[in-house]
Structure 1
């Protein structure tokens, strides 16, 4: 349940009047959508780094969203792109490598990379972090929405993520009890596979296109959430997803007018690079 400060920030953002009792503003009883920090607070810090996660926590995000990939020696890491060039100094550290895919590097090699300077010199030396580090950072502080990477050269990522979560049984138990853990994927078969391995963990299917009613009906037989791009989302889609018993979390919503629109449609979560736009922190 979102705290009063966040509910008040949402009410102010949406232009709803607050109730006033004894001179003190009191939020309406219904909370707004979950605030989901996309790759951490990635609008103001380098994405998927520890500082991005810590900033999102400080901003009172309800969840941080991460991207799960695997190194050549089997370590699960938090990294979005299939290759390392855009957000690290990999070409300087390892010149002439035939491939710069995340999966072609060992964990020890990845730890030597600077994943912060591309964003700002202020963050020079920020390292690539593991999924284990993510869990240690968020446990008891905020929720985790883990995306299984859609990079098509991987095999078995859903299985590996399920095994990794099982290795933190106390975290999973507590996070589920608090509604602070979920997994998502663009690849339907990966989502299904993960669901078969850890059915107690809520699973969502990402979609850049508007899903058809037939697709929604099929998803409702096993999925917990449908997570479409906000540009294809309208009231009809939100209502249909809810009618089928699923939640809907939209991505990636950064512009204030679009945030207001999505919240007004009654979506369950807003994935954003700027969680502070929703939390007021």
Structure 2
């Protein structure tokens, strides 16, 4: 990576796990962090840091929905699986329950990754926002992935943050479908503050908030300008300058990244004075390590 400090979002599928392993192995158990004055460093779990080599081009790997190749996505087990594999940044998705609690879930419906259809057979289409936190807490979010994960639960954001702190991991937090949950930006920031995640250490090294909704990202920045933010997607060149006022990263599909677009992104500086960064997701299953290294991105979300 070149001149970076944060990290970001999404996936490749299981077929690309060999590539993810090789990229991750090159980074060992390190996470990128900015040192004093913005000096590029590698911060290890133990808290020590060493400067990066100039021109270092190994993309940083962020565990998509936790280590979702090895454990059910967006669960505490997936956080721990990432931790065991030396991945110190994870990505997750946050939504809101019927009674106003924040939970970690990718789909806006519960039936793909839980047994909601079995427990609540008459409540299709099982939208997250139609269930209380207590009802969601009853669901098995692990058996679909494998028998040894039976009984794994959908975590609240509070529980998720506690586990990340225990493991000393960073979080790329996606606000999922914010148009369904008015006010979720402010609510999420309140939860982060209550859990100690808006202090200097977390803000400088361990937290980025992103969304596909430009309005959502702008809202987060207006409420908490100290928080680093990312826009998911591939905005046109004409929009980049305006987005740089409130976003630190632009995070597209890997297939959308070309040199002209990436150069335009990298020429701009974000609200914290640093060059905009690119974290790509949906990397082709047959992409090799060298192929990824030659792409003009700071990291991949896998």
Distance across 2 between alignment mates of 1:184 and 1:127: 24
Distance across 1 between alignment mates of 2:63 and 2:194: 25
**Counterpart in 1 of 2:188?**
161
Distance across 1 between alignment mates of 2:236 and 2:134: 44
Q: TM-score, normalised on structure 1?
A: 0.82
**Distance change (3 Å), C-alpha of 1:233 and 1:7:** closer
The alignment status of 1:192 with 2:222, answered yes or no, reads: no
Distance across 2 between alignment mates of 1:249 and 1:199: 21
**Distance change (3 Å), C-alpha of 1:99 and 1:7:** closer
Deviation at 1:146, TM superposition (A): 0.2
Given candidates 70, 93, 100, the residue that maps to 2:96 is 70
Deviations 1:96-141 (A, max 9, x none): 1254111111111111100011111121111000111111111262
The alignment status of 1:229 with 2:259, answered yes or no, reads: no
User: What pairs with 1:109-124 in structure 2 (closer than 5 Å)?
Assistant: 109-124=135-150
Distance across 1 between alignment mates of 2:57 and 2:129: 40
Deviations 1:214-235 (A, max 9, x none): 1112111221110011111122
Contact 2:24–2:86 (CA under 8 A) maintained in structure 1: no
Deviation at 1:253, TM superposition (A): 2.6
Distance across 1 between alignment mates of 2:88 and 2:298: 12
The alignment status of 1:249 with 2:275, answered yes or no, reads: no
**Counterpart in 2 of 1:32?**
58
What is the alpha-carbon root mean square deviation over aligned residues? 2.5
How many residue pairs align between the two structures? 252
Contact 2:23–2:289 (CA under 8 A) maintained in structure 1: no
Deviation at 1:10, TM superposition (A): 3.4
Contact 1:225–1:248 (CA under 8 A) maintained in structure 2: yes
Given candidates 179, 196, 200, the residue that maps to 1:173 is 200
Given candidates 48, 51, 54, the residue that maps to 2:80 is 54
Distance across 2 between alignment mates of 1:49 and 1:240: 36
**Distance change (3 Å), C-alpha of 1:147 and 1:235:** same
Q: Which runs of 5+ in 2 are unaligned?
A: 6-21, 28-51, 270-275
**Deviation larger for 51-60 or 90-99:** 90-99
